[in-house]
Amino acid sequence: MAKTHVTMKVNGAEVEGLVEPRTLLVHFIRENLQMTGTHIGCETTHCGACTVDIDGMSVKSCTMFAVQAQGSDIITVEGMANADGTLSALQEGFRMMHGLQCGFCTPGMIVRAHRLLKENPLPSEPEIRMGISGNICRCTGYQNIVKAIQYASAKINGVEFQEAAE
């Protein structure tokens, strides 16, 4: 099948590649760019494991073609750490609050939570739950993911995080 040349910015770096028009964005990221943090859990836009941030929106990269991302600005989980390489507030929150187990949903969760906190810096628990409802986690039961996002939200906004009493 004839291939198309695509260019885009991923985690701040200009990248390019030759893809079939039908190549999914998630495959372009994982196979062509060799960034395997973005995962595939369902290929039908249900699980959110493949979530990346495109031009300021959370997008499931399993149901978007790479050619549709031509010229866009993408952030994947590999671009989530602080500039100096330390864990970002969100990544730290997931670790501190035990917001992951097998870690398979985690990249998508973190990328999604990143956008959620940009849109709503101090979300309430129901807002967080609604905000991540496009991402399935099979291991954690979400409670600690919610706490992880609350932790990050508090840290980013310089307010004190109080772990809700059980």
Partner 1 sequence: MNDLTPTREQRTAALEGMGCKRKRVEDIRFTQGRGNYVDDVKLPGMLHGDFVRSPHPHARVKKIDDSEALKVPGVLAVITAETLKTVNLAWMPTLAGDVQMVLADGKVLFQNQEVAFVVATDRYAADDGINKVVVEYEPLPVLVDPFKAMDPDAPVLREDLVGKMSGAHGPRKHDNHIFEWTVGDKELTDAAFNKAEVTIKEMISYHRTHPSPLETCQCVCSFDKIKGELTIYGTFQAPHVIRTVVALIAKLPEHKIHVIAPDIGGGFGNKVGAYPGYICAAVASIVTGKPVKWVEDRIENLTATSFARDYHMTTEVAATKDGKVTGLRVHVLADHGAFDACADPSKWPAGFFNIVTGSYDFPTAHLAVDGVYTNKAPGGVAYRCSFRVTEAAYCIERAMDILAQKLDMDPAELRLKNFIKPEQFPYHSALGWEYDSGDYHTAMRKMMETTGYAALRKEQAEKRAAFARGETRDIMGLGISFFTEIVGAGPSKNCDILGIAMFDSCEIRMHPTGAGIARVGSKSQGQGHETTWAQIIATEIGIPADNIMVEEGNTDTAPYGLGTYGSRSTPVAGAAIAMAARKIKAKAQMIAAYKLEVHEDDLEFDIDGFRVKGLPEKFMSMKDICWAAYNSVPPGMEPGLEAVSYYDPPNMTYPFGAYLCVMDIDVDTGVYKVRRFYALDDCGTRINPMIIEGQVHGGLTEAFAIAMGQEIRYDEVGNVVTGSFMDFFMPTAVETPHWETDFTVTPSPHHPIGAKGVGESPNVGGVPAFSNAVNDAFSFLGSTHIQMPHDFWRNWKAAKDLGAVA
* Footprint on this chain of ligand FES (rule: CB under 6 A): 40-43, 45-50, 60, 62, 100-106, 137-140
Cα–Cα distance, 154 to 161 (Å, whole number)? 5
Q: Which partner in ligand FES, partner 1, none is near 107 (CB below 5 to 8 A by kind)?
A: partner 1
Q: Which partner in partner 1, ligand FES, none is near 50 (CB below 5 to 8 A by kind)?
A: ligand FES
Cα–Cα distance, 46 to 163 (Å, whole number)? 30
* Location of structure tokens 């990269």: 61
Given the complex with partner 1, which of 17 and 134 has the nearer CB atom? 134
Shortest gap between Cβ of 141 and partner 1 (angstroms)? 3
Shortest gap between Cβ of 7 and partner 1 (angstroms)? 21
Shortest gap between Cβ of 66 and ligand FES (angstroms)? 14
Alpha helix ranges (H) inside the chain: 25-27, 89-96, 106-119, 125-131, 143-157
Residues 6+ apart with CB under 8 A from 165: none
